[in-house]
Amino acid sequence: MNRDTMSFDIIGVGCGVATLSTVLQLLKRVKSEPAGSMQAPTVLIIDKGMSVGAHNLSGAVVDPGPLAELLTPEEFAGLPKFTTVKSESFQFLTPGGSMQVPWMPKSMRAEGYPIVSLSELTRYLAGLCEKAGAEICAGFAAVELLKENGRITGVRMGDKGLDKNGVQRAGFELGPDLIGSMVILGEGACGFLTEQLIAERGISGPNPETYALGIKELIETPECKGRAGTIMHTFGYPLDQMTYGGGFVYCVSDTMTAIGMITALDYRNPTLNPHDLFRLFKHHPKVQPFVAGGKVVEYGAKVLPEGGFHCVPGLAVDGAIIVGDGAGLCNSLRLKGVHLAVQSGLSAGNALCEGWKNNKDFSVAAMSKYPEQLKASAPWKTLQKIKNVRAGFSYGSIPGIMTIGMGVVSGGLLPPGRMPLEPDWETMKAKADVRPWVQPPKVADSEAGTQMDKLSDVFFSKTHHEENQPSHLKILDTAKCTTCIQKFGAPCTIFCPAQVYVLKDDKTSIHIDFSNCLHCKTCQIKDPLQNIKWTPPEGGGGPVYSKM
Ligand code: SF4
């Protein structure tokens, strides 16, 4: 069988906000040139999800600044949104109570910002890109970067139709090679090809990236008139002093609440279960009123890159650029990444247009305009001002809050230099050295619709994979599992938000239910022995988010 080859000028991998913003800006800039002076590049964007937006999940209260720059006033007015933020609060939670934070810096406030579904926003931007001339193909995973003399020349798409033993099934298809002058890597946090490229070219940031697992539900509730637009961010309970993160409650309408919990993956206790923490959060008396009597209608999970300024890798190599979450562009303090994804798209799109105009000059030197422009933008400068905040929190809540204070007072000059971060997988302690984490709450009948176990929740993510294919989750050395089970108590069976890993009866090995996988990548990031490798499954598999 021969592998097909298809050629495009630009290839986007991952149909998320960052890739779409890059392509839209590029095509708009080309179109704005004097009529007939420049031919538009051919653009193909591929995505591993079953449909556009199927793998896109976020809070999401969006800082609209960069979107307003990317879109025309008419396009901006047509943005799909649930509502806008009308009232907001920050709460410190204790096990049974709460205290409102009396003052928040302006940069942390969100009144008037739109509350959106990232899946819907993605579909909207994809529609604009198609209108501008780009082609978009969902259901196709990119599995390899193609190279020639060190230059990225395209991507290989995954084969379709291998059975669980790697043997060709009826209808087997070889994935084609997509050849292009430029590849935009917008795979999201911990992207498969992006991570390979960063490691291979030695372009990681000075600090290793640190992640958090975000778990989110959409809950339909009895009507509560006037609640739409109310948002609440929390810190404290159910996390301890040494675990960074918090919860959010966004009333997206009078009858629908988006609720989520973010748990930083540099946690130490191997018995910590992020899904249990989420359940405890929903059970808290300050949170309960927002979900009481409700029922879950959608569920999902993803990781966020939290490290910030000192973790951002090199953004351009010969033939490829990295945009959005895959480049670590997220402001964890503001719990916002969408505006940085759009901002990276604006800067990358401008650099691509200049390169295109200049006889397809997509060399590293030409593409260096992308990071240059990004680093002159307001969202980047905000990131710079909090450059050490995330590292401060790795020493606990009090040092973290002090780091914020120093940063705000000094305009980002303090603490000076770079505070180091440890890779998330290195922070886990042995089970014998910790106290078991608290269990999820006992479920009252009134909470039955909102207190799901993991598998019931997975049902609401509409996750599906062809069962008869090789597992996309690879345990690199099964002998190491025994060590991990003895020392850490099989943490993959605990942290995975989809119960993919199950301890076998022999208590020395792990069974993998890969078809439940939400593609969050937590297992690859947090496995303390770095023994799990996430690879792209057959295109079209995974969750199918519609309003997340
Ligand atoms: Fe996330 Fe890994 Fe579980 Fe899949 S198997 S849901 S990537 S932790």
pLDDT tens per residue, range 187-234: 999 999 999 999 999 999 999 999 999 999 999 999 999 999 999 999
Token pair belonging to 426:
């290195």
Amino acid at 222: P
CA of 451 to the centre of ligand 1 (A): 21
The pair phi, psi for residue 18, each rounded to 5°, is -70, -50
pLDDT confidence of residue 445: 82
3-state class percentages of the chain: helix first, strand second, coil last, to nearest 5: 30, 25, 45
pTM of the model: 0.97
Measured CA to CA in angstroms, residue 436 lies from 73, 108, 269, 288, 323 at distances of 54, 34, 8, 25, 39
Return the ligand 1 atom nearest residue 499 CA.
3
Return the ligand 1 atom nearest residue 519 CA.
7
CA of 217 to the centre of ligand 1 (A): 17
What is the number of helices (H) and of strands (E) in the chain? 17, 23
Q: Determine the residue of 215, 517, 526, 531 to mutate for testing ligand 1's pocket, defined as the one with the most ligand atoms within 8 A of the Cβ atom.
A: 517
Q: Determine the residue of 521, 524, 533 to mutate for testing ligand 1's pocket, defined as the one with the most ligand atoms within 8 A of the Cβ atom.
A: 521
Question: Alpha-carbon distance 201 to 314, whole Å?
Answer: 9
Mean pLDDT of 161-175: 95
Measured CA to CA in angstroms, residue 218 lies from 274, 296, 475, 545, 546 at distances of 17, 6, 33, 11, 11
Mean pLDDT of 375-380: 97
pLDDT range class, residue 442, cuts 50, 70, 90: confident
Look up tokens 């209260």; give the residue: 61
CA of 496 to the centre of ligand 1 (A): 5
Strands (E), 366-509: 473-475, 501-503
Question: Alpha-carbon distance 359 to 39, whole Å?
Answer: 11
Residues with CB under 6 A from ligand 1: 473, 496-498, 500, 517-523, 534
pLDDT range class, residue 34, cuts 50, 70, 90: confident
Average of per-residue pLDDT values in the chain: 96
Is 522:530 a contact under the CB 8 Å cutoff? Answer: no
Whether pLDDT at 116 is above 90: yes
Whether pLDDT at 368 is above 80: yes
Return the ligand 1 atom nearest residue 512 CA.
5
Amino acid at 287: V
Question: Alpha-carbon distance 128 to 134, whole Å?
Answer: 9
pLDDT confidence of residue 409: 85
Whether pLDDT at 36 is above 80: no
CA of 516 to the centre of ligand 1 (A): 8
CA of 102 to the centre of ligand 1 (A): 38
Is 271:436 a contact under the CB 8 Å cutoff? Answer: yes
Residue among 61, 95, 65 nearest 81 (CA):
61
Question: Alpha-carbon distance 321 to 152, whole Å?
Answer: 10
CA of 126 to the centre of ligand 1 (A): 27
Whether pLDDT at 152 is above 80: yes
Q: Count the residues in the chain.
A: 548
Is 264:522 a contact under the CB 8 Å cutoff? Answer: no
Return the ligand 1 atom nearest residue 532 CA.
2
What digits encode the pLDDT tens for the residues 458-500?
Answer: 999 999 999 999 999 999 999 999 999 999 999 999 999 999 9
Q: What percent of the chain has pLDDT over 90?
A: 92
Sheet of 98-100: strand order equals 98-100, 87-93, 230-236, 245-253, 256-264, 211-220, 295-305
CB neighbours of 487 closer than 8 A, spacing ≥ 6? 430, 431, 528
Look up tokens 């198609």; give the residue: 130
Mean pLDDT of 273-292: 96
Helix (H) / strand (E) element for 373: namely helix 369-375
Return the ligand 1 atom nearest residue 517 CA.
4
Question: Alpha-carbon distance 87 to 231, whole Å?
Answer: 6
